[in-house]
Amino acid sequence: MFEQLFKSINERVALTEEEKELCKTFYTFRRLRKRQFLLQEGDVCKYNAFVEKGLLRSYTVDDKGNEHIIQFAAEGWWISDLYSFLTGVTSVYNIEALEDCELLLLTKSASDELLARLPKFESYQRILLQGAYIAMQRRIHASLNQTAEEKYLNIIDIYPDIIQRVPQHMVASYLGLTPETLSRVRKQLILPK
Amino acid sequence: MFEQLFKSINERVALTEEEKELCKTFYTFRRLRKRQFLLQEGDVCKYNAFVEKGLLRSYTVDDKGNEHIIQFAAEGWWISDLYSFLTGVTSVYNIEALEDCELLLLTKSASDELLARLPKFESYQRILLQGAYIAMQRRIHASLNQTAEEKYLNIIDIYPDIIQRVPQHMVASYLGLTPETLSRVRKQLILPK
DNA sequence: CGATTTTTTGAATCATATCAACGTACGTGG
DNA sequence: CCACGTACGTTGATATGATTCAAAAAATCG
């Protein structure tokens, strides 16, 4: 039930058995069926969620009704609307299970207390955020400067697993392309040669 | 010489006078003249830099010779190539002073020691990174889903100060637009009505 | 000042979006 | 287990926003 989490933590900081036990007490376990929501637009994001099993997405819906996917999260990833979670302001994001999920949830108060009680958790979070920040910077660079084809090749390269598990139009949404454009890009990539 | 830094830290964690004194010992001061570089493509990013005064940009140059601005950093901001800084891998970024600058530099070893000696610095870094991550997420959302005009209106709103201090073509580069497009967008925004 | 850099303008072109239609796959209840 | 309805993916025709290339105007700097 905590395998993925301690794997994730262990890759970054070393916890004693005692610390692991302490750590466990702050989480609540939750199952989510495919299509269920962890967060809906207009609600406050109550949880920072760690994915033990399954796959989720966070997305917004614009005024024309189009969905824009911000993030996917599979096993070993965290997902939340960090801004809403930290400030208590209502969220503009939705977080939805794309597969049946097993999650470990941290409320804001649990998170604060864990940070206070376990300095290594603070390190863990900082290191996670560093990685997330670096990944984000790359994604921005890609989204600003790459063609549709380059973006697609790029995501295949970085998240080959995600593309396998997600409908194509969601990959398109994540890349900021229309489903039609992605379909044509793929066609071009297969035919030539 | 440390005003901006302690202002930045103080907004996030509370340091005692003692801790402040300890903190100071880890930084080195550096002046940079306009057009000088803190980091050049191909070098390893040796410093995480805090801006006490002045303005810098980080950018890449693509194969066609076009510059793509990743980040601006003015007073109170940090700038580096975090990936290169943390891993020691050579950087693909350039960091250049756009104005005469006064910087506080942290080497990797100084940073590691400061994190180890001063737990509050770890908190400070985590909180900074949270904010940076949230800002990045918004920027991605904007870059994927907004028109040229919306992007420009957006940046005026968020960083009004930066646009005043930076040539227009660099704003265009930051937004992922050509200088010509930004010029036309601005024209459209002034004339109508 | 003159020289360089920056911004603007125009015309042609290109990549991607949009709209609409069709085929296919999927899973859900009868 | 089949049939039906909904999701999803593909394809074509057209529209559009942004880029590219070229050159002139304006601003900035030494």
What is the predicted pLDDT for the residue at B192?
A: 54
Contacts of A134 in chain B (CB under 8 A): 82-83
What is the predicted pLDDT for the residue at A63?
A: 81
The model's pTM: 0.93
Other CB atoms within 10 A of residue B154 CB: 16
**Residues whose CB is less than 8 angstroms from the CB of residue A186 and which lie 6 or more positions away in sequence, other chains included:** A152, A168
- Are B82 and A133 an interchain contact pair (Cβ–Cβ within 8 Å)? yes
Other CB atoms within 10 A of residue B68 CB: 17
Identity (one letter) of the amino acid at B2?
Answer: F
Contacts of A60 in chain B (CB under 8 A): 141
Q: Distance (Å) from the C-alpha of residue B81 to the closest C-alpha of chain A?
A: 9
Residues 170-189 of A with CB under 7 A from strand D: 179-180, 182-184, 186-187
Nearest residue, CB atoms, B145 vs list A68, A122, A139: A68
pLDDT tens-digit map of A172-184? 999 999 999 999 9
What is the predicted pLDDT for the residue at A64?
A: 82
Q: Is B135 on the interface with A (CB under 8 A)?
A: no
* A139/A7 Cα distance (integer angstroms): 25
Cα separations in angstroms, A35 against A79, A94, A126, B142: 16, 11, 31, 26
Residue A34: its H or E element: none
Q: How far is the CA of A54 from the C1' of D10 (A)?
A: 29
Residue A130 near residue B82, CB atoms below 8 Å: yes
Q: Is B141 on the interface with A (CB under 8 A)?
A: yes
What is the predicted pLDDT for the residue at B124?
A: 97
* A165/A121 Cα distance (integer angstroms): 31
Contacts of B68 in chain A (CB under 8 A): 141, 144-145
What is the predicted pLDDT for the residue at B193?
A: 44
* B142/B148 Cα distance (integer angstroms): 10
Domains identified in chain B and CATH numbers? 3-114 (2.60.120.10)
Give every residue of chain A whose pLDDT is below 70, as ranges: 191-193
Q: How far is the CA of A95 from the C1' of D5 (A)?
A: 27
pLDDT tens-digit map of A37-48? 999 999 999 999
pLDDT tens, N- to C-terminus, chain B (193 residues)? 899 999 999 999 999 999 999 999 999 999 999 999 999 999 999 999 999 999 999 999 988 888 999 999 999 999 999 999 999 999 999 999 999 999 999 999 999 999 999 999 999 999 999 999 999 999 998 888 899 999 999 999 999 999 999 999 999 999 999 999 999 999 998 755 4
* A83/A86 Cα distance (integer angstroms): 5
- Are B119 and A119 an interchain contact pair (Cβ–Cβ within 8 Å)? yes
* A133/A190 Cα distance (integer angstroms): 33
What is the predicted pLDDT for the residue at A191?
A: 58
Residue A44 per-residue DSSP state:
B
What is the predicted pLDDT for the residue at A15?
A: 95
What is the predicted pLDDT for the residue at A193?
A: 45
Q: What is the DSSP string of B151-175?
A: HHHHHHHH-HHHHHHS-HHHHHHHH
